[in-house]
Each structure stands twice: as C-alpha cells, then as structure tokens.
Amino acid sequence: MGQSFLVTGGAGFVGSHLVAALRARGDAVVVFDNLSTGHRAAVPEDVPLVHGDLTDATAIDAAMAGQGFDGVFHFAALSLVGDSMRQPERYFSANVGNSLRLIEACLKHGVGKFVFSSTAALFGMPERIPIAEDDRVDPGSPYGESKHMVERMLHWADRVHGLRYAALRYFNAAGADPDGRLGEDHQPETHLIPLAIDAALGRRPPLAVFGTDYPTPDGTCIRDYVHVSDLASAHLAAFARLDDSSVTYNLGSASGHSVREVLAAVARVGGQPVPHTLAARRPGDPAVLIASPERIKRETGWAPRLTALEDIVATAWAWRAAHPDGYRA
Ligand code: UFG
C-alpha cells in the first residue's frame, strides 16, 4: 500500500518532479500551491491541487484535516538570492512565517514527518570545498538566512514535539524529467542553464557571463549541478530515514563546473555556440559551491544517476526545445 503526502510547491520545478517520483511508486499526493511561480500544467490532472496560500492557516487546516498524511514535503518558497537582497522582509515572511504555519499544522493534525527544501546558499562563502553538512553556516543573503532559520525551527520542533524532519540543502538544481513531461519554467528566468539554452536558440539576447576574474581555473564561478530527478529520488531516500531520526543532507554530485564549461556543454548538446558577453560579477555569488554528498550516500545508499553535465543539459535542452513558452504552450 502506498503512502499519502501533502506537497507544498508541488507545481514548481523541483516539487513537480517529486510528485512524479511519489506517484511512480504508488503514493497518493495532494499538491498545495499558490501558483505564484508554479504551474497548474505541471500537476497531473488526477492529482488534487489545492490552490491555496501558506499565509492562510485556515486553508492549510482544510487541506490537512482528516487526510492522515504520512508526511509533508515543503517546497513552496521564494528562492532568488538577489531578489532577497532587495526585499528581505518578503523572504522572511514567505519562507520563515509560512513554514512556521505549516509546522504548526503538522503538529495539530498529527503529521509526524516533514521534508524541507533547504539550500547551499546558507553556507555563504564556504571555508572549504567540497562542503559537508557540519561546515560553517554563514548565509550571505536573506534567502539563505531564511532557509537556515527554518532548519532551526525544525530542530526545535523535533526536540520538543518529536517532529521528524529532513533538511535537504540543494546545490544547483538543473535538467528536466527525461520523459519530457516536466521542466524548468521560471518567470523571470534567472538560472544559467535555461538562459544559455535560450540564447543558443536565439530566443533571448546573448548570455551575460557574470564575472571572469574569480579565483578558479577559467575565472568563472563553479557550481555543483544536480539533476532534478536525482533531487527527487534523494527526497524519497531521506524520507525513509525518518523512521530512525531527523537528518540533514547536502545534495550535490561532488563535482563542479564553471560557467564557461556549462556554455561549452550547451553548445555541444545543441550543436550551436551560445552567444555571450562578459559582464561584471553578480553581487553575492561565491566563487565555488560544491557539495560533499557523502553523508546521504553513506546513510541511505542514494547517489545521483545523471552525473554527466552534458546529460543534464540534454534533458533541459529537450524540454525547452519542445516547450518554447514553457507550461503556457
Ligand atoms: N550566471 C551567469 N549569467 C547568468 C546567470 C547565471 O553568469 O545570466 C552564473 C552565476 O553567476 C553563477 C552560475 O551562473 O555563477 C549559476 O547561477 P544560477 O543563477 O543558475 O544559480 P545560483 O548558483 O546563483 O543559485 C542556485 C539557486 C539558489 C541556490 C543556489 C545554491 O537559484 O536558490 O543555486 O547553489 F541557493
């Protein structure tokens, strides 16, 4: 018998891929999403979608009452580092305030397991690479800070009430469902891979490479790109651990790629160069972010499957080429 779950933000990029993974193994899912950045078309027609907002405790109550959920996966959040530097209060409200309401609802309705979308951004400028879970937390933005605050709330919800949680720190989520049904569609788009693909396809102006004077071999920033379907499977692996204890995991591949390497991979996959310009650094970008995923590997056996950058880019390319207007098509 499958289990049943509430997935907040299940109409978004990573959330929709988790919904697909849950359903593939026979679980029942209810999606709770305000559709501010998510897409109705990303939720399968036979999955109940509660079009609600986490500012509304009554709506959360109504979604949870009598459902007997085995757990909650909480993706719904604001997630842009630069945006959070302009409007920190919005991030604390949407990410911290809303998470608190959701935790309270879990306690009220007897939902004992909570999986939380955290971020590599809580490490700020890391002291060492690859980054392990217990390395120094020093968020460089309100976004990273807001996610760390939720991790701390969950820590105390566990200590005081026994709420089991998984805090999953994503590095750079990328790619698209290899079956071609789901993909990345942000408005506005700010992420490197979709912007580079669109530049190669001539749908956008040349990509601006943010900074070429970083202390890296080619001068551009290095990131750990992890395929979104691998992120989804990591959620299932982490959830299975919650019978024993709460867990915190860094989710990445242990390898990094520079911006120039990403552009080269996009060019190889698409068979055409990525038009680009060289621009100034984007404020707040650390030079290198690479995860050590050793803890989740050791404790759950999880490992990313799509590790080659070109394979990750190829899934993103296939989806964008087939969906020029994203989910609006
Ligand atoms: N970049 C460019 N030009 C662009 C866009 C991005 O050069 O037009 C560069 C960035 O400077 C960075 C790299 O490409 O060096 C990746 O940038 P993204 O915006 O795609 O991703 P970030 O690393 O900034 O952030 C992502 C998520 C965050 C998360 C972080 C953790 O958006 O939520 O990964 O690693 F916190």
Task: Give 329's pLDDT tier (boundaries 50, 70, 90).
Answer: low
- pLDDT for res 27: 98
Confirm or reject: Cβ of 192 under 6 Å from ligand 1.
yes
Same domain, 97 and 198: no
Q: What is the DSSP string of 221-254?
A: -EE-EEEHHHHHHHHHHHHHHTTT--EEEEES-S
Task: Retrieve residue 189's tokens.
Answer: 């788009």
Name the nearest CA neighbour of 210 among 163, 172, 165, 260: 260
**Do 170 and 200 reside in the same domain of the chain?**
no
Total domains present in the chain: 2
Mutate which of 186, 192, 312 for ligand 1? The one with the most ligand atoms within 8 Å of its CB, which is 192
Residues annotated as catalytic (active site), given as ranges: 143
Number of H helices, E strands in the chain: 11, 14
Do the domain assignments include residue 240? yes
Ligand 1 pocket, mutate which of 14, 259, 281 (most atoms under 8 A from CB): 259
Interstrand relation of 49-51 and 28-33 (parallel, antiparallel or unpaired) = parallel
Do 198 and 289 lie in one domain? The reply is: yes
> 204: domain range?
192-223+255-324
In this structure, are 159 and 119 located in the same domain?
Answer: yes
CATH number at residue 241: 3.40.50.720
Is 181 a domain residue?
Answer: no
- Confirm whether 90 is domain-assigned: yes
Q: Within a domain: residue 232? A: yes
In a domain, 280, yes or no: yes
Nearest to 115 by CA among 172, 169, 79, 71: 71
Distance 191 CA to ligand 1 centre (A): 6
Task: For residues 39-68, give the mean pLDDT.
Answer: 98
> Running DSSP on this structure, what letter comes out for residue 131?
B
% the chain with pLDDT above 90? 98
CATH number, domain of 298, equals: 3.90.25.10
| 219-274 pLDDT per residue, tens | 999 999 999 999 999 999 999 999 999 999 999 999 999 999 999 999 999 999 99
pLDDT tens-digit series, residues 75-86: 999 999 989 999
Nearest ligand 1 atom to the CA of 172 is: 34
Q: Identify the residue whose C-alpha is closest to ligand 1 atom 15.
A: 221
User: Residue 309: its pLDDT value, please?
Assistant: 98
The answer to whether residue 88 scores a pLDDT higher than 90 is yes
Specify if 184 maps to a domain. Answer: no
Q: Cα separations (Å) of 14 from 20, 74, 89, 140?
A: 10, 11, 24, 23
Q: Is residue 206 located within the same domain as residue 314? A: yes
Residues 225 and 323: their CA atoms lie apart, in Å, by: 22
In this structure, the answer to whether residues 30 and 168 fall within a common structural domain is: yes
Confidence category of residue 1, pLDDT binned at 50, 70, 90? confident
User: Is there an atom of ligand 1 within 6 Å of 191 CB?
Assistant: yes
Q: Is the peptide bond before 188 cis (omega within 30 degrees of 0)?
A: yes
Give φ, ψ of 267 to 5 degrees: -65, -40
What is the structure's pLDDT at 156? 98
Residue 27 lies in a domain: yes
pTM of the complete model: 0.97
Q: Which atom of ligand 1 is nearest to the CA of 220?
A: 15
Q: Is 176 in the pocket of ligand 1 (CB under 6 A)?
A: no
Residues 216, 268 within the same domain: yes
Residue 103 placed within a domain: yes
Structure tokens at 124: 């700020």
